[in-house]
Amino acid sequence: MSNTMAQIKDLKFFSGLKRRHLEVLAALAKEIEVEKGTYIFREGDDALRCLVILSGDVALELPMQGRDPRTVQTVHDGEVLGWSWLYPPHRWTFDARAVTDVTALVFDAEQLRAVKDSDHELGFQLMTRFGKVMVSRLQATRMRLMDLYGNGN
């Protein structure tokens, strides 16, 4: 078993996928290192990839004109970073900044979309999993906005 296959197999996000689907994903994955303080992506840029954090922490930040960005959520070991690659116009909706040194598996968005579209069973599994990520991010954004702006009273 390849090192990448072993890493993917052990990640909760991919739990329950068939071995053949894990093998496809492992073939697409590349391991990267990101230094603390580095922006992995910026709001509005093309969403060309998806990442799964193997180790480290990444802050999802909401840029605020004229003010410091606000952290909406922090992504940790085993969590997915990025879902904007799924839907046109394929642009990031947050900034992502490495809070610590990060090791991640990165997937090319175009290849991932092709796999999703060509294997409907795998596509369904990925969409279900990414749907949960999107709900989590939207809830975190909602809670952060409530912290920033209160309940209107």
The pLDDT of residue 122 is 97
The amino acid at residue 35 is: E
Q: What is the pLDDT of residue 152?
A: 52
**Residue 140, pLDDT score:** 76
| Whole-angstrom distance, CA of residue 124 vs CA of residue 138 | 21
* CB contact at 8 A, 100 and 37: no
Q: In 3-state terms, what secondary structure has residue 50?
A: strand
Q: In tens digits, what is the pLDDT along the chain, a chain of 153 residues?
A: 578 999 999 999 999 999 999 999 999 999 999 999 999 999 999 999 999 999 999 999 988 888 888 898 899 999 999 889 999 999 998 999 999 999 999 999 999 999 999 999 999 999 999 999 888 878 877 787 777 677 655
Give CA separation, 126 vs 20, 42, 101, 132, in Å: 14, 24, 27, 10
Write out the two tokens for 21: 């689907």
Collapsing DSSP to helix, strand or coil, 1 comes out as coil
Nearest to 1, CA basis, from 25, 23, 30: 23
Supply the pLDDT for residue 81. 93
Quick one: residue 78, left, alpha or beta (phi over 0 = left, psi -120 to 50 = alpha)?
left
